[in-house]
Amino acid sequence: MPRTRPFAQVDVFATGPCLGNPVAVVLDGTDLTGQEMQRLARWTNLSETTFVLPPTVPGADYRLRILTPRGELPFAGHPTLGSARAWLDGGGTPRHADRVVQECAAGLVTVRLAARSLAFAAPPLLRGGPLDAARLGRITAALGIEPGRVLAHQWVDNGPGWAVVQLATAEEVLALEPDLSLFPDGMFGAVGAWPAGSAHDFELRTFAPRCGVPEDPACGSMNASVGQWLTASGRAPAAYRVSQGTRLGRAATIGIGADPDGTVWVTGEAVVLVRGTVTL
């Protein structure tokens, strides 16, 4: 039988109201089938909808299932931060005062707590290294650019299947007019640097047609894996700032910081804008 469940919608990585990436969070997903979860994810039509469940492994504060309009993801970044904020806002008490530990299909993910911002530790890559020529060709064709404009390229897959190309400038990234019909099952992005002294260091755009998300306003998982690549390869400093969502009328800011041991943290604000219930 359907029942009323607590629900929240959280704006993640925003620099002001409604300028980030929203995530819908069902704070009690118990007894829901995967089909029922998928039906709601299609209905919300957001890049992700999440469901909070009791943990099944020691050390976790809760378990999270993450669904796009077309399927389930083992991990995603802005839903991780948004769900942590919604869980805390809804009265959740973490085992440790300074962090939340999320269980998801990709394993345990630590989320550090601050007054307004949250930061998650980037999960390990499932696949890295340069792209093969065929994959690179499909991405550049979909982006409408010649392969020679790509400074570097990399698999940055931490679950969703991400690949990325680096262009010379942020302006080139913003000027892209992708034709996703040329790569309908793609999961890829483009990153380029802003000039020294700018408010941000890089502009990132993320395209996820395979998940039914043509362009993600602010993508935590891709920022995490791109951050691992850029900082480890010396293409970026140990700490930098990313802007995302500009072409979509958003103004997201994502902070990247690499610890001396190589752990990369993805930081951003997460603000609950909608509190209520959903009947499922």
Active site residues: 48
**Which residue is listed with tokens 């000039």?**
195
**Which residue is listed with tokens 């951050």?**
227
Q: Residue 156: which of 175, 181, 139 has the closest Cα?
A: 139
Sequence-distant (≥ 6) Cβ neighbours of residue 69 within 8 angstroms: 41, 42, 45, 46, 211, 212, 213
Integer-rounded Cα Rg, in Å, for the chain is 18
Q: Which residues of 36-61 are buried (b: 16+ CB within 10 A; e: fewer)?
A: ebbebbeebebbbbbbbbebeeeebb
Answer yes or no: are the C-beta atoms of 173 and 198 closer than 8 Å.
no
Tokens of 162: 């991400």
Beta-strand relationship, 62-67 and 49-53: antiparallel
Residue 33: CB atoms within 10 A of its CB come to 8
**Distance of alpha carbon 148 from alpha carbon 112, whole angstroms:** 40
